[in-house]
Amino acid sequence: MKNIWLNRTDLLQANNYIYGDGYNADFYYDVLNANSIPIEGFIRAYSAQKELHGLPIVELKDILGENVNILVTQNKWMDVLDFLSEVVPENNIYTLGNWREGEKCIVCGEKHTIKAGGAFLPFIEARMFAGNRVETAIVHCSKCRVYYSEYRPDDEEMARLYTGYRNREYQEQRQKYEPSYTAEYNEWLSDSSVIMQRKKGIYDYITNFIKDTSNWHTILDFGGDKGQLFPDEWEDKQRIVYEISKPDVCEGIKLVSDYSELSSYLPDLIMCNQVMEHVSDIRGYFANLIKLLKEGGYLYIEVPNERWCVDLEYVRFCEHINFFSEKTFRELAKQFAVELVDVRISNDGLVLRSLFRK
């Protein structure tokens, strides 16, 4: 992936196509045109149009194999970028965004990363960083396909953000910066119908691969809040929630808040629901979950399947500092020598689920 401005001379003698739809393509065209960068045509996924600005709209497959450059307008959508780098040599992909070479990837350890500008949202600066500005960037790894914030909050910063998570003070502080984060919305997040749906999703997914769970004895929900996400079907199991914040847990759930206690349980299943997108040390966190698991036991990890915008060269982070793809979980399984039973995006597109076996 090359930055258009840093490699401008390469583009002056080339067949350049703008890849992307709508406003972005028009915007790009104007910027490139004003800078005398020649454009041969457009590639648009969702258009029946044949022409734009007097130039042809072609299909990617029709120009592949020629010596062409693709100027991506939608580097902000991870799928576009990943899709393109599979079919077009990376050397021929350009972006207008200020992507530059990054450091070693925090998941796979390889130096296949690019990074662009990023910042934490004002609410995060106020709460997590006690009002201080912290510099960060959005990093993307083309090998394991993860996106993450370059700045990794430390334990003290994490504690500031998550102590009293979603309580009244949290909600009020957040609403000051994000008017739509109302008390009603905050309530809705733990609404029973939402929880029911999530529980069902977890149960259906796991039992799709493990038909017989009758011999399971212990299930651990790591970072599982009050333990509200244990499927009802597993009521007969020992159900443990690990939470350092010591919440009032649901009936029948055992709370463990002392980490050293955990190693004695050897769970048959560990669930980690929508936590990994928040953690600083992805590898360490994963390694720890595997370590706690019984030999032959299963690990279920669920993260949001997020599609978000990097305005041409900027992303703003809220609480999520990691954005995973299927490939990221494949990479983790490989690194820690565990079996990846399955990884997939849910049918409703909302979450990315993965199941591992130790």
Give the binding site for Zn ion (CB under 5 A).
105, 107-108, 141, 143-144
The smaller minimum CB distance to Zn ion, of residues 105 and 256, is found at 105
> What is the amino acid identity at position 349?
G
For residue 105, the minimal CB distance to Zn ion (Å) is 3
For residue 340, the minimal CB distance to Zn ion (Å) is 16
For residue 282, the minimal CB distance to Zn ion (Å) is 10
How far apart CA 340 and CA 111 sit, in angstroms, is 24
The smaller minimum CB distance to Zn ion, of residues 105 and 290, is found at 105
DSSP assignment string, 81-125:
HHHHHHHS-GGGEEESS--EE----TTT--S-EEEEEEEE-HHHH
The smaller minimum CB distance to Zn ion, of residues 106 and 293, is found at 106
Dihedral of alpha carbons 76, 80, 84, 85, sign: positive
Which pair of tokens denotes residue 338?
A: 């565990």
Which pair of tokens denotes residue 270?
A: 């560990």
For residue 141, the minimal CB distance to Zn ion (Å) is 3
Which pair of tokens denotes residue 300?
A: 């279920």
Which residues are CB-neighbours of 232 under 8 A, at least 6 positions away? Answer: 199
With residue 70 as reference, give the H or E element that holds it: strand 68-72
For residue 334, the minimal CB distance to Zn ion (Å) is 11
The smaller minimum CB distance to Zn ion, of residues 72 and 332, is found at 332
Tracing tokens 């992909």 back to the chain, one arrives at: 93
Q: Specify which residues 101 forms β-bridges with.
A: 114
The smaller minimum CB distance to Zn ion, of residues 219 and 332, is found at 332
